[in-house]
Structure formats: C-alpha cells, structure tokens
Structure 1
Amino acid sequence: MVSSTIDYYEINKNLLRFVGQWPYQKPRERRFIFIFTMILVINAMVPQVAQFFVCENMECVYETIPPHMLAIMLLIKYFTLHLNKNQVKDLTDRLFINWNIIDNEEERKIMEKYAKTGKWYSKMYASYVYIGIVLFSFTGFMPRVLDFIIPLNTSRPLMLPYPAYYFVNEEKYFYYIFCHMLFSAEIGLSGIAAHDCLLFVYIEHACSLFAVNGFRFEHMLYKRNIEKTIIINHADEVYCKNVVFAIHAHREALEFALLLENTFTLSFGIQILMVTVGMSISLVQFSIQLPNNLAGAMRYLLFIGGQLFHLFCYSFEGQKLINHSSETCDKIYNGSWYKIPPSAQRLLLMVMRKSIEVTTLTAGKIYVFSLESFTTVLQTSMSYFTVLSSFSE
C-alpha cells in the first residue's frame, strides 16, 4: 500500500475500523468491536420489538414496521461485511494491486480522478448519514417548536425518534431514552455508512479500470512504460503485445466487477425487499399523519427521503458501472485498430464481443441496479401504498 494511494481511501479505512470491518485490522480488535457494536444494536432493537407487542391497533403496527426494516437492513450490512471478510480483503488487495501496475502518467490521472470521486462520495454520504439521523431524531422536539409557532391551550407531547417501549414512564425519563436512542442510532448507522461508502469506492474503482482499458485500446499505437507516450514503428509483435496487455487488463476489470457482484448480491436482494416494503408503509403513515399531526408527518417524510436517497445512490452507481463497461466497444472502434495487423485485430473482436454483455450490479441476481430500475421500484412502492391505504381506511 503506497501512502499516496491509501490517502484516497482514508475515510473508508476509518469508518471500517470504527465498526471492526477493516480488512487489515487485527483479528482480536475486529472481534471485540464487532461484538460491542452488536450488543448496542440489539440493545436498541429490544424496545422496538417490545413496542410491536404492546400495539393495540394496525396504525400502531404500521408505525413500528419502518424502524424494524431499517434495523434489519443495518444488521444485513454488518453481517455482509463480517461474513464476507475474505472477499472484502480480496477486493481491497486487488484495488491496491491495480494501482501498482499503472505504468504511465495518463493512466494514473484516470485512476486518481475516480479515486477522488469515490472519496468525495464517501465524505458526502457519511455526512448525510450522521447529520440525517440527528435531524430525524430531533423531529421529536418538533411539538415544542409548533407550540411556539402555533400555540394551543395545552402543550404538545414530545415524541421519541422512533416507536419503542422502554418499560418505564416515557415522559419522566424522556431525555434519558432520547440520548440512548440517539447514541445507539449513531453507532449502528456507522455500519451503514461504512458498508455503502466501501461499495461506492469499489464501484468507482471498477469504473476506473474500464476507463483505463478504454484509454489503452484507443492508444494501441503508443509505446508503453515511459512517462510520455510517443508513436512507435509499425512492428507487429509490439502491436500484439499492447493488445494482449489491454485484454488482460480488461479481464481483470471484469473479474473485479464479478467478485464485487458475488460479494454483495445476496444482501442487496434483501435490502431491495426492505426498501420497497418500508417505503410503502412509510407513505401510508405519512398520509395518515399529514392532516392532524404535522410533526409525525415530517418524521415520515424524512424517512421516505432517506430511503429514496439510499436507493438512488445504489442505482446511480450501478448505472455508472453499466455505462463504463459498455463503452469499451466504442473505445476500441474509436482507436487506430485499422492500422494494426489482422492478427491483433482478431484479438480485439473477442473484447468487443465480451463488452456487448454489460457488467451489472444486481440484487439477488434478479434486480439490476440502474436508473430505469429505480423508477420501477418507485412504481412498485406506490402500488403497495395504494393497496395498504385501502386496508387502513
């Protein structure tokens, strides 16, 4: 690991170390942090489950389901990183190895561009998660704000960040319960931030590999292994070596994307189910709360927005991977393929044929993350919302 390279992934390293999932962390440290985090998460889930059993009507049940969905999703992300630690380490090893085989300044600039993009995405997403949970939690104090803006004869009661039953007087111990919820949520959602930011970095790296290969295919007539590329003499052997080198690099990009897909596809399948059901129920709750309880409606609106943003980030990155993998064929066509010997041209045909089959990121090998699929999930959620609304009337 070169220090200048790992600087691009410093945010991811810190997030993963915080939740005990950094691939190069000491095993004892990893186990201790993981067990400690699981105790906190389970400790926060017990009151949620208790609330479910004390519910007396369907509206109360609907209120408890979205937080349960988020808690399940949180556990899925934690255990995905924990149970697939060997695959995550393999992906990380490949990432740093790919940096070491870059042999000229142009290709390094391409890799740096995508690494900086991944770092920026990680910074923005982590900030969104931590700030978002604080804002969501403080919607419980919205009744006090409304008392100041639109006062009533009696004070509005404070609300907990999410439905939970703590077996004590909630009004008397409200601030203790609130601090427990906020602390548990911040620690727990660190796993979501670490998981998703790592995924974004991996996808950006896969896109950078396809971009570097595209650059190589476009510049097949250039000499390699020197800082400044120059035109070389028309030597069939050199052309073939350049093409073979690019083909091997393209295969490495495909293998990296396939390993990424196999590592996360099962958890993605469960998460898509959670998002679809959770968003539908949140919409139902928003429609119920909106006329009479503005603070409650605001909380569900923030929850829906968070789910949409989470799904959109996945879909956007999945679409980006599709676009970069499919551009390889165009890069080859735009290159100087007509100047190379027929033996090298035949090699390019295999790559073009392979690039027609786009590389995708899927959920359970069924749902393909793309912007088109994003709209499909929204339509499905709205359909479920319509059905659930009819039952709640």
Structure 2
Amino acid sequence: MYLDVYREMICIKPPQVSLQVLLLVVGLWPFQQSKFVQLQLIIFFSILITFIVFQLTTFVTLKCTTHLVINVFSSVLIYIIFIVKYSSFFIHNDVVKCLLEQLQRTCDQLTDENEINIIKKYNTYTKCYITLCTMLFIVVGFVIILYPFWPRILDILLPTNESRPHPSLLLVTEYFVDQEKYFYLMMLHAIAASSIGGIAVLATAMILLACQHHACGMFRIASYRVEQAMTVCNSRRNCLKSHNLIYKGLIYAVDMHRKAMKFSQLSLSRFKVMIFLIISIGVICSSLNYFRIFHALSFGFNIEELVMPVLFVAISFVYLMISNYCAQEIMEHNDDVFITVYSGQWYLTPVHVQKMVLFLLQRSTKAFTLNLGRLFVGSLESAAMLLSTIFSYFTVIYSTQR
C-alpha cells in the first residue's frame, strides 16, 4: 500500500528502475522487513565484508610497500563507505519510514492548486536527478561487467593470429587460489560487492535528495503564502475580514516554514555520524585515487590502472557536488521566505499582524543551515573547501613519494 501511495504522491519513477525497486533490491525498503529481507541483508553484508578482507589479504602475500598500501586502501575505503551507508540506513530504517510518512501527510494537507503545482515542480526535479543517476549507474555497471569478456568479444569481431592477453582484476585482491583458473569467480565476487554497494549508495542518496527537494518545495509554499497574504493587504486594507485573512495567511506561512525546517533537519538528524564518516573517509580515498591517476599518467598510459581510480574520483565528485548543492538550495529557499516578507508592504497591516511579521523578520537574523554538529555546513562553499582539502592531501602524498 505504502509503495503505491509513495509512487503516486511524489512521482519519482525513473524510466529504467524506480527508487522503490532499488531499495527493495538491497533490502532497505522500510515497509517490508520479512525474514527473507533479513537473510538478504546477511548475505549482502557478507559479500561486502569478504571482498574487503580479500583486498587486505594482499599484504600477506605481497611485500608491503607504500605503492601497494595506496593501491589497496584507495579501493578498500570505497567499500567501507558502502558498508557505513548501508548499515546506517538499515539501523535507522524507522527514520526513513517516518520521513516518507511525514512527506505523505504534508502532501495530503495541500488543497490550493498553486501549492500542489509547486510540489509537483520540485518532484519533477527529483525525478530528473534520479533518472540521470540511475542511467549513469547502469551504463557504468554494464561496461564493468563486460570488461572480462572484452578479449573474447574482440576475438570474434577482430580476430588476430596472436592471442590477446587475459584480463586481470581491476582491483588488487588475494584469494589464495590460481588467479587465471578462478578469474571469473573472483570477478563475480567483485561485481556482486560493487553492485550491492553501488545500488545501496544510489538508493539512499536519492531518498535524501527527494526529501531535501520536498523541503525546498515546502519553503517555496511558505513564500507563496506570504505573497498571498501581502496581496490581500494591498487590495483591502481597511476591511476587518481582510485583516483576518492576512493574519490566517501568515499563520499558515509560518506553520509551513516551521514544518519545512523540521523536515529538512529530520532527514539528516539521525545520519550525522554517517555523513561525517563518509566525508572523512571520502577525502582520504579521493586523495589516494588522485595520486593513482597522476602516477599512472606519469609512468605511461595504462588503461587498467586508470579505470577504477577515475571511476572512484568521478563518483565522489558528483556525490559531493549534488549533496552540497541540495544543502545550498535549502539555505536559499529559506532566505527567499524572508525576502518575500521584507519586500511586502507589511508596515501597512494592523498592529497585531505586524507583530507576527516582526517575529518572522527576527527569525531571519539566524541563518538556517544543514550542519554536522557545527563542524561542517552543507553548501557549495563547503564543497569547494573539501576539494581544496583533497588536493592538499594529494600534494602531501605526492611530495612524500618523491
């Protein structure tokens, strides 16, 4: 029931695969927690953890060098991020359920056609993001899955007298078996771990994205209600009925503004530890992968050494920019509410209405931000700061290697 209501309500059904299906695939849909889902979670966590273990076992058979440490941990940290995000949403499954239920209640309370159109507009933005990200994930996944079969495909399409080299794993692993004999089994393990982690990150990120876009729509509705109240003020200034309409309009605007702030904060409140860990691990991981790219380009162009670092860096950059852009949008939509109040002729309203307006204006002196315990504030400025930090760490690694 909730699946159908949620799909109809916010209209985020990408053409390839819906967000609900993505959550169901990894066992994170909050309204269906059967024994099968519990078994599914155990299997998926086991695949992710064992793949990390088989990457770390390379230190058992190979000499521990700085280059090996960088190669191993540049990929291991990515899968640690997968586990952190996967486990966080599993532990706080009730929060996701609460967010979807609150989102539904907010939509059900809208009766004005213009307000409904505002929500539909922001839901369209969400749908575009989800569609684009899902398509990119499918394309990248398809290319990686086909990678081990490229030699055989080329033998069929472009046959040569010489045998083509056997493909190797794109990640450094040690399974203590014959690499060539069990290559496809090891590749299957890598693809399974990457697919599970990738789908989990994609689905959970899109859930937060949908919530933040919905919060932006709620802020816009608050601005619209202020505009409507000011319109009544300008058209009928001396009518007692108009005074009541203005007062009620501002009350509804304040109520929606309060709900928008509460909703946007709730979507991050239980995930602050997760986001802090992802930022910390992501900065280190991106720095290591930047070094791998620079190292591969400096010592000859090797496509196998470049594929995974470039992929990891691209994904982390997109994730960083989209998440901080959404946080920036929340801040700007909140400011738009108070800009709307400032620009209206509130000084012509009755005294009891002016008191409420002044309450709104006073609230604008305190900036509303999405922050992690005052350590990190989501914004484009913070995204630039993180990129600067990543390049600083990359410079330090490069200087020590020289």
For normalisation by structure 2, the TM-score amounts to 0.87
2:203 corresponding residue in structure 1: 194
* Cα shift at 1:210: 0.4
Aligned residue among 228, 237, 246 for 1:239: 246
* Cα shift at 1:58: 1.5
- Trace 1:133-152 onto structure 2 (pairs within 5 A): 133-136=141-144
1:379 corresponding residue in structure 2: 388
1:272 corresponding residue in structure 2: 279
* Cα shift at 1:144: 9.4
* Cα shift at 1:321: 1.2
Find the aligned partners of 1:388 and 1:141 in 2 and give their Cα distance.
Answer: 35
Q: What letter is aligned with 2:104? A: F
* Cα shift at 1:309: 1.2
1:250 and 2:257 are equivalent in the alignment: yes
Q: Secondary structure at the match of 1:112?
A: helix
* Cα shift at 1:159: 2.6
RMSD (Å) for aligned C-alpha atoms: 2.8
1:15 and 2:19 are equivalent in the alignment: no
Q: For residues 310 and 184 of structure 1, do their structure 2 counterparts lie closer, same or farther at Cα, with a shift above 3 Å needed?
A: same
User: Is residue 47–residue 189 contact of structure 2 (8 Å, CA) maintained in 1?
Assistant: no
Q: Secondary structure at the match of 1:220?
A: helix
Find the aligned partners of 1:305 and 1:3 in 2 and give their Cα distance.
Answer: 31
1:48 and 2:55 are equivalent in the alignment: yes
Find the aligned partners of 1:75 and 1:371 in 2 and give their Cα distance.
Answer: 26
Q: For residues 87 and 162 of structure 1, do their structure 2 counterparts lie closer, same or farther at Cα, with a shift above 3 Å needed?
A: same
1:64 corresponding residue in structure 2: 72
What is the identity percentage for the equivalent residue pairs of Structure 1 and Structure 2? Answer: 24
Find the aligned partners of 1:125 and 1:191 in 2 and give their Cα distance.
Answer: 13
Find the aligned partners of 2:377 and 2:191 in 1 and give their Cα distance.
Answer: 34
Find the aligned partners of 1:354 and 1:329 in 2 and give their Cα distance.
Answer: 9
Q: For residues 145 and 383 of structure 1, do their structure 2 counterparts lie closer, same or farther at Cα, with a shift above 3 Å needed?
A: farther
For normalisation by structure 1, the TM-score amounts to 0.88
Moved more, 328-337 or 66-75: 328-337
* Cα shift at 1:247: 1.1
Find the aligned partners of 2:133 and 2:372 in 1 and give their Cα distance.
Answer: 21
Consecutive unaligned residues in structure 1, runs of 5 or more: 224-229
Aligned length: 385
Moved more, 271-280 or 45-54: 45-54
User: Is residue 230–residue 344 contact of structure 2 (8 Å, CA) maintained in 1?
Assistant: no
Aligned residue among 339, 343, 351 for 1:334: 343
* Cα shift at 1:188: 2.5
2:181 corresponding residue in structure 1: 172
1:316 corresponding residue in structure 2: 325
Q: For residues 303 and 136 of structure 1, do their structure 2 counterparts lie closer, same or farther at Cα, with a shift above 3 Å needed?
A: farther
**What's the CA shift string for 1:204-228, capped at 9, x where partnerless?**
01111101101001111568xxxxx
2:221 corresponding residue in structure 1: 212
Find the aligned partners of 2:7 and 2:27 in 1 and give their Cα distance.
Answer: 24
1:261 corresponding residue in structure 2: 268
Find the aligned partners of 1:135 and 1:65 in 2 and give their Cα distance.
Answer: 23
